[in-house]
Amino acid sequence: MAESNGGTMAIFLPFLSGISHVGRRYNNEDNFLILKLPDAYLLAVADGLGGHSSGEVASGIAIEVLKETFLGEYEPGAPRYLTRITLKKAYELAHSRIVENATGERKGMGTTLVSALVSPGRVLVANIGDSRAYLIRNGRIIARTKDHSLVQELVDKGEITPDEARRHPMRNIITRALGAKFEVDFYEWKLRHGDVLLLSSDGLHDYVDEERIVEIASRGENAEEIAKELIEEALPVTRDNVTVVVWK
């Protein structure tokens, strides 16, 4: 079990690794979680929003509530619909706790949260905000979460291209977050041998081309190698904290 607590943190296993790096910021408002459950792993990345240390507080609350909920309520072997209810409850509780704590200097704080419950042969993903989950297979993206952001809405309307979205001056404006507008998307993806599941904050995917992300994820021998190389690729160009969690 691991979660980051500001600054830089890493956890490495051959099949599962996570790194959170402060990047060019003075503090790290990203957090991540790797939690071993009896028959699954719960992975998550949260990217905090707000001035002062508020973003760090919000992302920390999200990760802590997610962990608490699954340690207390997750039932091994439960039907998928019950697991989804547990995951949704964790998001609702995190949202409520962030709102309750958003007072004084912390007013307006919030966080993205993308999580993945990985069990044999499948993964249940939940997302709010513009952190992402990717499923990469045989050198291409099989599935990806959809950003809740202003530029994504412009892409959906055909007003800008996905490539233009990466450079758009308003790309950091998100339309949903824990602590703000609450609405969670859920995805269920099937997993095959050799697949790479990547969770990332926008410090990676806003600055590194998806083609390059896929190339690194596809050639890496194991999760540790992939995670390290993704961070090394992002650090020279990112202007944000950068966090990745990799399952291979």
Cβ neighbors of 147 (< 8 A, separation 6 or more) are 129, 130, 132, 174
Residue 168's pLDDT band (cuts 50, 70, 90): confident
Q: Does residue 51 surpass a pLDDT of 70?
A: no
Residue 246's pLDDT band (cuts 50, 70, 90): very high
Q: How many whole angstroms separate alpha carbon 238 and alpha carbon 201? A: 11
Query: What is the CB-side half-sphere exposure of residue 107 using CA atoms within 13 A?
Result: 3
Higher-pLDDT residue of 227 and 8 is 227
CATH code for the domain in which residue 53 is found: 3.60.40.10
Q: Does residue 9 surpass a pLDDT of 60?
A: yes
Give the tens place of pLDDT for each residue, 14-41: 799 999 999 888 889 999 999 999 999 9
Q: Which segments within 22-146 are labelled E, that is strand?
A: 30-37, 40-49, 110-111, 113-119, 122-128, 132-137, 140-144
Q: Which residues on adjacent β-strands are paired with residue 113?
A: 128
Average pLDDT for the chain: 92
Q: What is the pLDDT of residue 95?
A: 98
Q: Does residue 5 surpass a pLDDT of 70?
A: no
Q: Residue 19 carries which side chain, given as an amino acid letter? A: I
What's the structural domain count of the chain? 1
Q: Which residues on adjacent β-strands are paired with residue 119?
A: 122
Residue 7's pLDDT band (cuts 50, 70, 90): low
What range defines the domain where residue 222 resides?
Answer: 2-247
Give the 3-state secondary structure percentages of the chain, helix then strand then coil, rounded to 5: 35, 30, 35
Q: Which two tokens stand for residue 232?
A: 């090394």
Q: Does residue 100 surpass a pLDDT of 70?
A: yes
Q: How many whole angstroms separate alpha carbon 240 and alpha carbon 10? A: 17
> 């609350």: which residue's tokens?
61
Nearest alpha carbon to residue 149 among 27, 24, 47: 47
Nearest alpha carbon to residue 244 among 224, 226, 227: 227
pTM of the model: 0.94
Q: What is the pLDDT of residue 156?
A: 81
